[in-house]
Chains A and B, each alone.
Chain A
Amino acid sequence: MQELFWILLSAMVVNNFTLSLFLGLCPFMGVSSRVETALRMGAANIFVLTITSICAWFLNTFVLAEAPYLRLISFIVVIASLVQIVEMVIKKLSPTLFRQLGIFLPLITTNCAILGLAIFQTNRGYGLLEGLFFAIGAGLGLTLALVLMASIRENSELASVPEVAKGTGLTLIIAGSLSLAFMGFAGLLSAA
């Protein structure tokens, strides 16, 4: 139990996917200008990450045990198709949910956080349960980073910023400061 808790918190804050591993930067730079959107994007991410984790575990355990060199190619194909299927299912079952999360799903498939999760999970030899905690932690971490970034940007829009610094430059510097702040979480989980 303690180990699962460690995996969750490690992926969420100590080794935050976006701020310390640079995964999922596209939505972070692109979508994160409103808190509301950031929250939805985060929710969609948690969802896809969880599915990916189960999927990767299944592939690793039952399909790729004898052929690990085909891992990358199977991961990318299976994840992309699966997300598409999930998208269709949600569209059929719950149009409301689809309207809220759906538009983000195709965006997420090509997001490196998803493939990154599958690869990290494999490299570390996580089982099904560990993988699930890892996925949820990573998803929560992404959401946290997105929401923090969005709330800062909502405010910085009103600030008077030199013309040259508007846009990506400023976003990157803010991201750097957030990343610096998140470094403070290191050591949190090393109870000695």
Chain B
Amino acid sequence: MNGALSVRPEVPAWRLITTMALAGVLAGALIVIVHQSTQPTILRYKAEMLRRAVNQVLKQPERYETLYIYRGALIASVPEGVQSKGLDRLYVGYGADDQAVGFAIAAAEPGFQDIVRLIFGYDAMAGRLLGMKVLESKETPGLGDKIEKDAVFVSQFDGAATPLVGVKGGRGSDDPGEIDMITGATISSRAVIRIINNALERSVPLIAAREASR
């Protein structure tokens, strides 16, 4: 360290490669160890968040189960040899009498700023919504984020008839299919309505086919 001008000896290539490989292996090993010790907590939290969201939009069912969308049909368990990881899914909730009370459907589409991700409960028998919860959005704080935080707006989706129609806010419409849009956040409100309507358009035939085959 003392002679700043001393000539640096040539390092053979094998030493460079060994050092890098060794560093890579050590780094990988450390990451794997931390991964092993944190993964259970992370997975538990994610599952808990999902459980809470599903229970909230299905209005606290007795229990619920996951349905996978596989080859245009809803199935309760994935056939042997098929990865369930990449499949779209929805959740069916059951009441105390083991009757299906509704389906929880997650969907995502562009909002005002970026993609809005939400989940909603749908009562297929009555053709009405049970509830709606925004899972992820980057809408403007104070305006667009009311789709998530404004209790009055969110509660309108409880029992709303489908397909939803958005109307200008402030009128306090009594029609169950009409959603009062938030003043100053029309685009965000309209996006929520559009996301739900589009998701229903995709899911209702699947749900109907499943009911018909039972």
Chain A's closest residue to B35 (CB) is A69
Are A189 and B110 in touch, CB under 8 angstroms? yes
In the complex with contacts A186-B140, A190-B187, A192-B194, A70-B111 CB distance below 8 A? no
Are A187 and B112 in touch, CB under 8 angstroms? yes
Q: Is the interface on chain B under 10, 10 to 19, 20 to 34, or 35 or more residues?
A: 10 to 19
> Is A47 interfacial (CB 8 A cutoff)?
no
> Nearest chain B CB to A79's CB is how many angstroms away?
15
Complex Cα distance, B114 from A192, in Å, reads 14
Complex Cα distance, B190 from A69, in Å, reads 38
In the complex with contacts A69-B31, A69-B32, A190-B114 CB distance below 8 A? no
Partner of A190, one of B24, B32, B110, B140: B110
Are B112 and A10 in touch, CB under 8 angstroms? no
Are A192 and B191 in touch, CB under 8 angstroms? yes
> Nearest chain A CB to B136's CB is how many angstroms away?
11
Complex Cα distance, B113 from A190, in Å, reads 9
Partner of B110, one of A10, A69, A70, A124: A10
> Is A6 interfacial (CB 8 A cutoff)?
yes
CB-CB < 8 A to A189: which residues of B? 110
In the complex with contacts A190-B111, A192-B194, A70-B28 CB distance below 8 A? yes
CB-CB < 8 A to B191: which residues of A? 190, 192
Are A10 and B32 in touch, CB under 8 angstroms? no
CB-CB < 8 A to A6: which residues of B? 110
Chain A's closest residue to B39 (CB) is A69
Complex Cα distance, B190 from A14, in Å, reads 18
For window 64-87 of A, CB contacts with B under 8 Å fall at 69-70, 73, 77
> Nearest chain B CB to A149's CB is how many angstroms away?
22
Chain B's closest residue to A20 (CB) is B113
> Nearest chain B CB to A126's CB is how many angstroms away?
12
Chain A's closest residue to B112 (CB) is A187
For A10, A124, A189, A190, the residue with the greatest tally of chain B CB atoms inside 10 Å of its CB is A190
Chain A's closest residue to B115 (CB) is A124
Are B140 and A73 in touch, CB under 8 angstroms? no
Complex Cα distance, B116 from A187, in Å, reads 12
For window 11-38 of B, CB contacts with A under 8 Å fall at 24, 27-28, 31-32, 35
CB-CB < 8 A to A14: which residues of B? 113-114
Complex Cα distance, B32 from A69, in Å, reads 8
> Is A15 interfacial (CB 8 A cutoff)?
yes
Are A192 and B190 in touch, CB under 8 angstroms? yes
Chain A's closest residue to B191 (CB) is A190
CB-CB < 8 A to B115: which residues of A? 124
Complex Cα distance, B28 from A63, in Å, reads 14
Partner of B187, one of A73, A77, A187: A187
CB-CB < 8 A to B110: which residues of A? 6, 10, 189-190
| Other 14 A-B pairs with CB < 8 A, given A10-B110, A70-B28, A190-B110 | A6-B110, A10-B114, A14-B113, A14-B114, A15-B113, A69-B31, A77-B24, A186-B113, A186-B140, A187-B112, A190-B112, A190-B187, A192-B191, A192-B194
**10 pairs of A and B residues whose beta carbons are closest in the complex:** A192-B190, A69-B35, A187-B187, A187-B112, A186-B113, A190-B187, A190-B191, A190-B110, A186-B112, A192-B194
Residues of B participating in the A interface, judged by any CB pair closer than 8 Å: 24, 27-28, 31-32, 35, 110-115, 140, 187, 190-191, 193-194
